[in-house]
Structure 1
Amino acid sequence: MDNIFVARQPIYNRELEVVAYELLYRGDQPGHAGVVDGDQATSQVLVNTFTEIGLERLVGDVPAFVNLTRPYLTGEYELPFPPGQVALEVLEDIRPDPPLVEGIRQLSDQGYLIVLDDFDYRPEFDPVLDCADLVKLEVQQASETELARTVAQMRRFNVQLLAEKIETDWQFRICRDLGFDFFQGYYFSRPNLVSGKRHANSKIGLMPLLAKLNDEDADFAELETLIAQDQVLVYRLLRCANSAAVAPRRPIESLRNALLMLGTRTVRTWILLISLSAVDDKPPELCRIALARARMCELLAREFRTASPTACFTAGLLSLLDSLLNQPMEEVVSSLPLTDEIKEALLHRAGPLGRVLQCVCDYEQGHWHALDSTPAESSLAKAYLQALTWADDIMDVITPTRSPHSLAGT
């Protein structure tokens, strides 16, 4: 099978650690991105995940959330995986009649994690809630009063709560204060919807380093002086230089040797990632997304031949800075010595760089309708998977191995 399409969206716990990924359907016919048949969409996700791509490659050591249609829940279609690393999402439009309730109860008894998606409480769902482990509540249009009322209703049942479609810093903080256990939404990966407030002192001093890293005229002596002020950063850079991901020819023991061996672009990339991963009030997953986005931009630029791969990599890497720094992108861009082409891509998704970056963001966020006319659409899935693997390898060096708080039932 040449064209396989599965995307993923991270799910976070209260400490902003990634504890799961939701797997998203993408049709396998170019020009036909919409979900026409739910059973077929579910089957395609399962086939692509378990037989073509591999679950571990997509989600690592955390659970995968998969939407299931009625035939899978009632036992008409057999699930191709045992209980363990997959959570079963019950879609919001499924009617809770006796066959469905019995099917869900049997799956729960077998050890499957049961998740109610886009849940809107009605009394007839009580039997399903008795079997469920986790409830996903859409918070995008809800007021704080409405959310508090819904949370109080759910507390009558033995379920954990996930706030989905979080798009602002305010929504995230309200949901956390109301006691939600898990969080999901574009707030964590869509920079244009993030509040511009500043919160963490850990970001102080980061902008001068970022500016120097993106200054084409900066030499190694300047970089070495600036980097040497942070011994933790020096240690982590040396660790990166010695990692298998960089494939060194010999052990690197000094900062100067690391800078000379790695080269300007690699040094800038690694230090930028290390610095951003140390921001203490944002999830490290943002760095993973930024790195995968940068790599996918680079790969597509090479294939489409419409923009500089190097510039596309930089644009992708910097495209989440406003989320990480809690500053409007206009402020971030104005403080960095970037080319006009990269600035236009970051601010307006304009120009050849901007079009590549927008294409990558659309694929990453599941905006399939926007990709129907994209050249070489079949290349997107291949580039996406290569970028995920590359980003995971890099992040395994930059950050400690993920040790997420377990979800109930896993």
Structure 2
Amino acid sequence: MPEQRDHVPFTVALQPIHDASHHHVADRLVYGRHTEDEAEDIMSSTAKALASTVYELGDSGLLGDRTLLVDLPLGWLERPELLPTPAPRLALGIAEEGMIDAELLATLDDIRERGYRVVLPTRLLKQDLETMLDRCDIIVLSSPHDLDDKTLERLPARNVKLLVENLDSREELARYQAMGCDYYHGNYLAKPNFIASAPRGRHGNRAAQIRLIRALYEDNSDFNRLHELAVQVPHLHVAILRRANSSYFHRGGKEVDLHRAVQILGLIELRRLILTLTLASLQPSSRIVLRMALIRAFMCRNLAAPFPALDPEDAFTTGLFSMMDALLEEDRNTLLEHLPLGQPIIDALKHRAGPLGAVLTLCENHERQVEEAIDDLPPDQLHSCYMNALSSTKALMDNL
């Protein structure tokens, strides 16, 4: 039965933020859905927004080197394992209206200790000015009368910045500049950039996700086990590769494969990424197609094993990603343009070129022989690699 698809696109808007010299230095994330369901889970919406702007796009995404300002629910801010990274590139605000209490103050203290900047509206700041000035880095102004002159004079010494929102005219800009404001956003300077995600499969490989999350929180997490589980969730596989190969985690050199990516990110970052993407429900996969892709990947690895010049993990990745477009319901060329894969793998996938391309072609030819064979195929070395791949795939998917 074909997988159900989510036909309601999830929309993210990035509002450009400029400094006093009109340089585009940051973006403010605004997110929602084209839906009349007012009761949609705010945690799920937050997860989808962060997945789109932080975890999936990576260095090649919409933000570049700019800072991202995002308002998060208190339930999200109170869970350190969900806070997006890297902290120096993010400024976090509070999505809900609320009152200052000991729990909120502790949350803000923890966020700042982790390296995040805190963004507060003046309405929250004014509830307890002295207390909150020590716990914020950016104050959001909606009117030039939000703060009095005495308070404004105190801000530079505390390195607290002022962000003007919804700027509509040249006159407003001049007035706020005279006040010494630092950042500005609004339609007068730039209109928001709206991005609607493509419809995706709704269900995904939920069992593998649950097992992966459980494995991440075991006392003695096994990186090999994490790799095995991550392979079963194609969308997550791609996100881990992009994250590990980003400039923040990867300092140049050869692109890393999934085994190395899991090690580079470590448990804390993997927990953060996987929990967010699981909440976002953005992992479309088909069990039948996944089985075919894993058989091909394991067979490519088996075929490469006797040759010292071939990396078995590169062969595995080549086999798996040869069907990743079907698993992710994405155009292959578009997908490859945004994946941090080595050039030999890309050449093999696009043109069946090089040693990896030869291995992939050999595997694909044998698949056709298996599909068309009436009688049993001879037990040669090629078919032995295929049977071993069947066995490895069965062992991997039996846990689902």
TM-score, normalising length: structure 2: 0.42
- The structure having more radius of gyration, on CA atoms, is 2
TM-score, normalising length: structure 1: 0.41
